[in-house]
A and B are shown apart, each in its own frame.
Chain A
């Protein structure tokens, strides 16, 4: 692959339930700090959730925030932070060549629930339905808010990809750079899911909503004591550039995106298919031009549901089972399931391994489900592996959408 087609990550902006920057996030993952807490939600009372506490006003006026959405506010924060991280001088670039591609699990649910609740106070008189509802709920809203906030006339859209959306957003950015459609891509995923009671209620009706007296113990992938998903909000956007361009401007290159794949189970709306998951990871590995044994960290998607965890564990064993230098972890155990942001945040959380050679753990594994036994599953304590060269980040979602992204350590 020639330099113009090689894509690198030069910036990361994020907000997660346990950190608002790459360094803070990494620090808390290595220190075992959970970001799960509890909150009141409409109709359901107290629920466990991953809540972000970034400064909405750092890059956005109060008026713009009032008009927009939480997903938009998260996106604006992450995009501005990512561009700052990448040391891009906004005055020195062709803004028409900047694209914004943001993965979302869903959008509009929060705003629609809010409007229905608002008109409920007026006996459902639709004259009280807000004129802001449509710009808030159009599917491109989070990405569009970024372009309005940052004055970016290049292309923008969201990528609806259920819980594979964080990876899907990043992949879209890579593709648009390779096509030559943009010179800089702001790409990743966001979620405002915790502000919708419907998402909690639906998981509860599916018997898939986590509960625990201690919020920090609630998200328990691979553990026999798991009882469901902790819904979280969050965001993570990367600045992506062609390697040649990044080198030319002396950008702080963090990693190279060397492989990716997406596929579909094509058989069930909810239940995952380990064969298709394995095929997705294998395709990403082939495209990266490496062997499974070259991967140092497999960042799993596991959400702490019995069927999801066991099926993914089977797929990981199928692809990586025989290789001694492949380590496996799970970031949701710290922050819950950040939905559209999950894939991007979980990749970001592992990037620090290129510098420190440490694999952060899967916390809350007190009693490993035997069906989830995976060679080198890093449990409860971070593990030093010396050197990390490749990370494979998996994200899967409803309607059988699978994704895998492989990033490589960048050596100057």
Chain B
């Protein structure tokens, strides 16, 4: 799965978790918390959506790796790739 797709998946999940947020200009390299009104419960929502939609588990020690879109791509791309059919 390409970087763009992973970004879009995360943005789509954020649009559900934080439906009032303006996602039109989210910077990939900036922490999501620093540009959107998001707190720890929102990140737990993102973890839950990844579990529900893609059966992807994010262990607690890896939560910091969901900090920005770029870090999400870096961390989640291998997990999404592992889901893809060979």
Contacts and interface: CB of A to CB of B under 8 A. Distances in A.
Interface of A: 61-63, 66-67, 122, 127-128, 130-132
Contacts of B17: 63, 66
Interface string B14-39: 00011111000000000000000100
B19 A127 contact: no
B51 A128 contact: yes
B19 A128 contact: no
Given A67-B41, A131-B48, 18 more contacts: A61-B20, A62-B19, A62-B20, A63-B17, A63-B18, A63-B19, A63-B20, A63-B21, A63-B37, A66-B17, A66-B19, A122-B52, A127-B51, A128-B48, A128-B52, A130-B48, A131-B45, A132-B41
Contacts, number: 23
Nearest to B44: A131
* Size category of the binding interface on chain B: 10 to 19
A256 B4 CA distance: 63
A130 B45 CA distance: 8
A134 B44 CA distance: 14
**What secondary structure prevails in chain B residues at the interface with A?**
helix
Nearest to B38: A63
Interface of B: 17-21, 37, 41, 44-45, 48, 51-52
Contacts of A61: 20
B18 A131 contact: no
Contacts of B41: 67, 131-132
Nearest to B19: A62
A66 B41 CA distance: 12
A214 to B, nearest CB: 38
Nearest to B57: A127
7 contacts: A63-B19, A66-B19, A67-B41, A128-B52, A131-B41, A131-B44, A131-B48
Nearest to A61: B20
Contacts of A132: 41
A60 B19 CA distance: 12
Contacts of B21: 63
Contacts of B19: 62-63, 66
Nearest to A57: B20
A66 B16 CA distance: 9
Contacts of A130: 48
A101 B47 CA distance: 35
